[in-house]
A and B are shown apart, each in its own frame.
Chain A
Amino acid sequence: MIEEKTLLDLCEYIVKAGKEKGAEHIEVHAASESEVESDVEMGQISQVSKKNLSEIAIRLFIGKRMGSAFTNIPTQDAANEALDLAISAAKATTEDEDWSGLPSPADEYPVIEGLWQDSVVDSDSGEVVGLAGKALSLSVKADPDLIPGFGGSAAIGFSAAYANSNGVAHSDKGTFALVVLGGIAPTDTGMTPMVFAYDIARDMNVDVEGTVDDVASTIQICKNSVKGNSGKHTIIMHPLAYGQVMNFTLIQSIRGDNVARGKSKIGDKLGEKIASEKITVVDDGLHPRGVSSSSADDEGVPRRRTPIIEKGVLRSFLWDTYWANKMGVKSTGNAKRNMRQGLVDISPSNIVVEPGEREIEDIIKGTKHGYYIRGVQGAHSSNPESGDFSIVGNPAILIENGKMVGAVHGLMVAGNVYDLLNQVDEIAKTPHYLQSIIGPEIVFKDVSLIAKE
């Protein structure tokens, strides 16, 4: 991994060199990552990988014409070659009348403690393998039928830097360790669905026991296959499930670019009630346990906490610099750069669903008939514009008289996300800390389900 200061020096060099080559405005975003990862297949570690990657994305403007380029080689020579490509692209493209400038320097950047831990970058392949190895041995102990079909562990260190011709110069670094487990078990008629769980931490103390226990206890229930009923029923969704649905519907509609382009169904609903008053959703780029927490976004704009839905009322959209300038608002620090494509998109940081009061165990105990949906298939086929979704809950677990009794195969959930948001009945107390979402289970009432006949 390249030190963040070295990366920033390179960014600043490229900004200067770009201006000398004829760019009027220029920004450079560089990232470096080192990763050791182990992969599990069929209950054994099959492969250990090592990656040392660098990415440098350049975007420059001549007048209002934009060109961009990418290189994976972190040297001044490679950067100069990339600059030439970006300049010829800018000369060939069309003007963007709406472009009005790159970000300006920020007064200050937030400080989030604990994003970097030396123990992660100092770890060796043996320690990383050890995490997955521990998950495998605990799986076998937890349930002899449980096959750890998929999984692994990783230790990742990364640095990032951003500089532009307005004088913004910012760098950041962070670490992650993670353990992932996907378990299955044979049933009388076939297989259980694969049950996933993972834990991500900034240091090496990932919760292997909790991850295995989560998978094993769910598999235990899924070994029993039961029939589901069509009709309107209560469903309890794990954030692994509703996070997917929201990502392909609601989240697309709060992106400022989609609001500006008339692609959002709630683009004209700021200040209006769009959901049950029981739900509050925040985009929190500063959350100490958020995987996407950082001091700045991919344009060097400070991260912040942006309320999206407050007690059912739509409070804000998410913006990057371009669309905020165009619409006369301020960036919310939600720019996300696809380095290789050169595309700057608006993307949430950590979506946080505020917790409720009762523990999930108590909610399940109080449920006479319902379904606990832990994962979904096909959320990506939702219609982001209309909010319509039609998905399979899998694993979907039948709850009867307060008990989880078995897996339902082929349980479809169809509806519209804006109806679903109004069907929130309760939110559980303890959040799950996932990659893009932090939230507890959510109970939705009267949701249309279609069970396989």
Chain B
Amino acid sequence: MFEKLESALEIGSGLGASYVELRGESGFIEYIQMDDGRVSALTQRLEQGVAVRVLADGAWGFVTTSDLNGLDNAVKDAYSMARAAAITRREPIVLAETKAHEDVLDFDVKRDPRHVPIEEKLQYMQDMTKEIRDFDSRITAVTVKIRTASGKKYLMTSDGSRIQTDVVLVWSYPWVTGKDGTRLSAARYEDASTKSGWEYLEKVATPEVIGLEAAKRVKLQLEGIPAKGGSFPCVLGPRVIGVLAHEALGHLAEADLTVQSSFNGKVGEVVAAEGVSMTDNGVDEGNLGTSKYDDEASLASRVEIIKDSVLTELMTNREYAAKIGQRVTGNARAESYLHPPIIRMRNTLFERGDYNPDEMFEGIEFGYYCADFRGGQAQMNASFQVGIQEAYEIVNGELGKPVTDLSISGIATDSLFKIEGVANEDFPFELGRCGKGQEAFVAAGGPNIRFLKGGITFGGSS
């Protein structure tokens, strides 16, 4: 692959492009869906293609192609696309300087998903379906989806970087429906690894573990009482506080979005209550959003977005690092050769605090504990929304009844000041996907965090 990329790279440089980036991919990708035990999709594919990105005259041109023998033309096309964009620009795009890297990254995959028999994969899905069905007789429908990938990615830039890396994915996702009389409900769960092979689904995300996580939430939904609407004191658990870190703060701290969000111009200012720190850690070993390099060949890093309540750093790529005069944080990521890299989060978290974990609910007469989410979305006026699929009332300092679906919202720039306590405890990460025009695998987490009334609005219907 590198030989083909190299000759195309030379053509791009010869045309006068200031930067040429070629990202080749080749590999095996698989999708299987099982609905109530019936295989409704079972697709294996071998896919290869190259993403060509050229910076010329201060604008980007991008071409994606699956024709590896037509890369010379793809580079020429990308160059002419860049020139078409360039004539309209008031100021040219420039890239921050970075060190070039040459590297070969091999993952220690015990069981390459490409070589795991289909029968074994279907057995995993059947086992999960059974696990879920057996959990509660009111469970009426079960869909299980898995995705796997195994291949290689080749990144080459005109700055001299040349990185070859293994690509691996195993992903498991059940969606469960429950029915009690006329009452219908649903819940989902998801787990994934971008570092391990099939052994991850055998040992960590097993049918038992993942099935139980989804099934127990449907049961809670069927037994829950409606939530109230309004603002209440609350505690958000690791899975929900992680999504809040991602949706409410993370997106606003992606430099391409910051410049148009409520965080604009606030670097160096206090943006949160005392003791609050939030990080996007791209070098957390083994985590879902971690990689050594990003898709511009920059080293990934730990980005201290909020440090001791001060907005400290934004996530950047080379273009935005130059634009805002900050370091390159290595957050340029692309879903596949079909897309150009853009600024994405990796593993986003609230750092642990100093609040006694045993006192999180203490003194709350009435409020909510939110344990798990389903989806979330950010907007530029700092408004965030997180759908909640597992929550409980807090009554007189004690965990109370489960409540049915609701969502929470707030204005991040206000809500952060209403944080009353961040637990001093370890926490698990929630593993999932984020959509920003293209998909990225991301992790999010944090310790239990307690909010004062006025911080979080509950969209209950009662």
Contacts and interface: CB of A to CB of B under 8 A. Distances in A.
Given A340-B45, A385-B184, A410 B409 contact: yes
A452 interface: yes
A261 interface: yes
A53 B66 contact: yes
Interface stretch (A3-11, A14-22, A125-133): A125-133
B161 interface: no
B459 A414 contact: yes
B381 interface: yes
Contacts of B384: 377
B420 to A, nearest CB: 16
Contacts of B33: 341, 343
A381 B386 contact: yes
Interface string A142-160: 0000010110000000000
B61 A48 contact: yes
B1 interface: no
A134 B284 CA distance: 45
A93 B39 contact: yes
B60 A47 contact: yes
A336 B87 CA distance: 40
B290 interface: no
A67 B460 CA distance: 44
Contact of B88 (A129, A190, A412): A129
A265 B179 CA distance: 10
B260 A147 contact: yes
Contacts of A381: 373-377, 385-388, 407
B177 interface: yes
B380 A409 contact: no
Contact of A378 (B40, B184, B229, B377): B377
Contact of B43 (A36, A49, A70, A385): A70
Contacts of A407: 381
A186 B45 CA distance: 47
Contacts of A85: 44-46
Contact of B461 (A93, A265, A392, A416): A416
Interface string B39-68: 111111111110000000001111111100
B410 A49 contact: no
B96 to A, nearest CB: 16
A215 to B, nearest CB: 13
A391 B407 contact: yes
Interface in B7-59: 29, 31, 33, 35-49, 59
A56 to B, nearest CB: 10
A451 to B, nearest CB: 8
Interface in A61-113: 66-73, 81-82, 85, 88-89, 92-94, 96, 98
A338 B221 CA distance: 31
A452 B141 contact: no
Interface string B74-110: 0001101110110111110100000000000000000
Contacts of B39: 66, 93-94, 96
B46 A66 contact: no
A338 B383 CA distance: 32
A340 B43 contact: yes
B259 interface: yes
Contacts of B118: 88-89, 92-93
Contact of B90 (A38, A44, A73, A450): A44
B185 interface: yes
Given A262-B177, A378-B377, A412-B407, A149 B260 contact: yes
A341 B31 contact: yes
A85 B186 CA distance: 34
A394 B84 CA distance: 35
A194 B186 contact: no
Nearest to B264: A191
Contacts of B44: 69, 85, 89
A193 interface: yes
Contacts of A377: 377-379, 383-385, 409
B177 A72 contact: no
B119 A409 contact: no
A191 B262 contact: yes
A390 B387 contact: yes
B326 interface: no
A123 to B, nearest CB: 12
A298 B249 CA distance: 40
Give the 8 A-B CB pairs with smallest separation, nearest first: A381-B387, A342-B43, A381-B375, A378-B385, A390-B459, A47-B60, A390-B407, A190-B262
